[in-house]
Structure 1
Amino acid sequence: MMRPPALAVVGWSGSGKTTLLSRLVPELRQRGLRVGVVKHSSDPHPLHSEGSDTARYAASGAAFVAFANPAGVQLSFPEPPEHVLSLLERFADTVDLVLVEGWKQGPLPKLEVWREGLGPLLATTRQDVLAVVGDEGAVPEGMKHFAPGDVQGIAAFLQQCLRDGVLR
């Protein structure tokens, strides 16, 4: 099964990943793209409130558990995080691009959000970082760089990456 093109937006905690994504999604939508977002975390946060009906269904071995109310639908699967790619396959026909916040170790191409003092720049040691968003100081020579507020420039770059087949 095919999966939609995807990009991991990575960076240290507090670097601005969520802020960037919350601004980037509407910009990409205005450009006609259907965008999905997956939040990846290495920390084991509970998906269901203790004792809730959905927690009981998950504990019973259900293949998936969904919680639907007027605010929307939350869907969870009992798969470990390394199966993010199989999750993306489920949305191949519904989105043009999936942005995955986090998942530094995943196999997707990456956009690094970096801020001085939070941790080392990943782009200096990794081949899978396409561009850096943030402080310019330590960005490697020749690496594509964007200011955090340049949402239009980042969106145009991602559209070009989609056209060039860099994001698959």
Structure 2
Amino acid sequence: MKLFGLAGWSGSGKTTLMVQLIPELTGRGYRVSTLKHAHHDFDVDQPGKDSHRHRTAGATEVLVASSRRWALMHELRGAPEPTLADLVSKLSPVDLVLVEGFKRDPIPKLEIWRAENGKAPLFPEDPTVVALAADDPLPAPLSGAEGRAAPLPRFALDAVPTIATFILAHVGLPPYGP
């Protein structure tokens, strides 16, 4: 499976771009899965539901299934956080896995950057950032890709079809369908 990441600081628009890219890519005939890094205490379960009761009672894994979907929740119970590779190995095969977060993992990434966040761009320090999506001009010293052989490709945040084509080309997939 091909992996491509969306990275950026909180509030930059990673999720917004992700939910626009998914239908663009699936509409081109690709099977796409996503993998998102969340903060420590996220929960997909609801207190009072049977599955939540199973989990809080001490089950290591709780699998919930219906005629429309299934979900597996795995409690780490003090074990180390799984790596990106560990998590990808749990996915069913698809053409492309879009990864949100995991900004320190060595996969190719599109950085989403907004000046209003007040945070420095990641790309000058992260060689795995292969392109930039921004709706603001970069600060003057960062307008080029300092220390790189060539400037990074740059896209407007709303250039979803163009970004999708770039991602597919970067991972070695044709622009339309396998």
Counterparts of 1:41-60 in structure 2 under 5 Å? Answer: 41-59=38-56, 60=58
Superposition pairs for residues 6-17 of structure 1, below 5 Å?
A: 6-17=3-14
Residue in structure 1 matched with residue 130 of structure 2 by the alignment: 130
Which residue of the partner structure matches residue 22 of structure 2? 25
How many Å separate the matches in 2 of 1:54 and 1:116? Answer: 42
Alignment of 1:104 onto 2:103: yes
**d(CA) in 2 for partners of 1:16 and 1:130?**
17
Shift of 1:83: 3.0
Q: Secondary structure at the match of 1:41?
A: coil
Whole-Å Cα distance in 1 between the matches of residues 39 and 82 of structure 2? 10
CA positional deviation for 1:84: 3.3
Where structure 2 has 5 or more consecutive residues not aligned to the other structure, the ranges are: 146-150, 174-178
Cα drift, residue 85 of structure 1: 1.9
- Are the aligned partners of 2:36 and 2:101 in contact in 1 as well (CA < 8 Å)? yes
Q: Which amino acid aligns with 1:144?
A: P
Residue aligning to 1:151: 160
Task: For 2:130 and 2:74, locate their aligned partners in 1 and report how far apart those are by CA, in whole Å.
Answer: 30
Consecutive unaligned residues of structure 1, counting only runs of 5 or more, are none
More displaced 10-residue stretch of structure 1: 128-137 or 66-75: 66-75
Task: Describe the SS at the equivalent of 1:43.
Answer: coil
Equivalent residue of 2:170, what SS? Answer: helix
For the aligned residue pairs, the C-alpha RMSD in angstroms reads 2.2
Answer whether contact 2:4 2:171 (CA < 8 A) is retained. Answer: no
Moved more, 49-58 or 141-150: 49-58
1:42-83 deviation line (CA, Å, top 9, x unaligned): 332234334542234334333x32233466333222345433
**TM-score scaled by structure 1?**
0.81
Give the 5 Å matches for 1:75-86. Answer: 75-79=72-76, 81-86=81-86
% same residue: 34
Q: Decide whether aligned partners of structure 1 residues 67 and 92 sit closer, same or farther in structure 2, where only a CA change above 3 A counts.
A: closer
Q: C-alpha separation between the residues in 1 aligned to 2:47 and 2:105?
A: 30
Structure 1 Cα separation of the partners of residues 54 and 86 of structure 2 = 22
- Report the AA paired with residue 11 of structure 2: G
Q: Cα gap change, 1:136/1:126 in structure 2, threshold over 3 Å: closer, same or farther?
A: same
Alpha-carbon spacing, 1:139–1:41, altered in 2? closer, same or farther (3 Å):
farther
Q: For 2:115, what is the secondary structure of its paired residue?
A: coil
Aligned residue identity for 2:98? L
CA contact (8 A) 1:123 1:140 kept: no
TM-score (norm 2): 0.77
Shift of 1:149: 0.8
Q: 1:159 to 1:57 in 2, by over 3 A?
A: same
